[in-house]
Amino acid sequence: MKSLDFPLPDEAATLALGALLAQALPERAVIYLEGDLGAGKTTLVRGLLRTLGTDGAVKSPTYTLLEPHVVSGLNLYHFDFYRFNSPDEFLDAGLDEYFADAGICLVEWPARAQPYLPPCDLRIGLHVEGGGRRARIDAESERGEAWLNALAPPPASAAATSCASPAPG
Ligand SMILES: Nc1ncnc2c1ncn2[C@@H]1O[C@H](COP(=O)(O)OP(=O)(O)OP(=O)(O)O)[C@@H](O)[C@H]1O
Ligand SMILES: [Mg+2]
């Protein structure tokens, strides 16, 4: 499946990647956001939400587990499971209901709720590189693949690779 790789030299680049993903956003999707503390996961969600037109502050759900947003007629659920001591807390809090609903679920620290999360459409990994970050986005479903294919061509600095179709030539 398709994967994209983006160097993110500064915070503005992380916000811009979130804005890019807001293009062609499906009505329903699950996005895993992986990477260490401070990798830029919340920043990316902030860029996406601002582009969709959210007027309020985009708070990190680190302490609340969930920050819901309704914007551009879409339901977006931003989760952060960092503080889970056990994945069972996911079921205890009834959070599985949100994933059954039509909406966009953006999940920081998804591994801490496994095995209870549904599979993702996009897996986004962020890591520190130099003074900035690097992002890798993997499509893991047909819907995720269509989403990545619908994005405007990435900036010249971004390299695109695809496992499914070898580079032409
Ligand atoms: N590309 C970048 N280059 C440099 N700094 C960045 C970049 N992207 C985000 N940052 C900065 O990194 C810091 C942490 O970002 P953020 O809160 O988004 O991380 P996080 O992955 O959500 O962390 P946590 O796991 O603690 O929730 C912020 O100060 C943000 O401005
Ligand atoms: Mg965060």
Q: Angle at Cα 120 formed by Cα 114 and Cα 123, nearest 5°?
A: 100
- Full set of structural domains in the chain with CATH: 3-149 (3.40.50.300)
Cβ(128) to ligand 1 under 6 A?
no
The response to whether residue 162 sits with its C-beta less than 6 Å from ligand 1 reads no
pLDDT at 156: 52
d(CA 8, CA 71): 26
Centroid of chain to Cα 152: 17
Rounded to the nearest angstrom, the distance between the alpha carbon of 169 and the centre of ligand 2 is: 41
What is residue 90's predicted lDDT score, i.e. its pLDDT?
Answer: 96
pLDDT digits (tens, 9 = 90+) for 8-20: 999 999 999 999 9
pLDDT on residue 101: 83
101 lines ligand 1 (CB under 6 A): no
Find, among 77, 8, 74, the residue nearest to 43 by Cα: 8
Residues of the chain with confidence (pLDDT) below 50:
160-169
| Tokens 């956003």 -> residue | 25
Q: What are phi and psi of 152, to 5 degrees?
A: -60, 155
- pLDDT tens digits, one per residue of 134-167: 999 999 999 999 999 998 765 555 554 444 444 4
CA of 125 to the centre of ligand 2 (A): 13
User: Residue 2 is encoded by which pair of tokens?
Assistant: 């398709």
Q: Confirm or reject: Cβ of 10 under 6 Å from ligand 1.
A: yes
pLDDT computed for residue 164 by the predictor: 42
Q: What is the pLDDT of residue 113?
A: 97
Three-state DSSP state, 132: strand
CB under 8 Å to 37, separation ≥6 — which residues? 82
| Amino acid 56: pLDDT | 79
Q: In this predicted structure, what is the pLDDT of residue 167?
A: 42
Nearest CA to ligand 1 atom 15: 40
| CA–centroid distance, residue 79 to ligand 2 (Å) | 9
- Tell me how far apart the alpha carbons of residues 108 and 145 are, in angstroms, rounded to a whole number: 21
Amino acid 102: pLDDT? 84
Ligand nearest to the CA of residue 131, numbered in listed order: 1
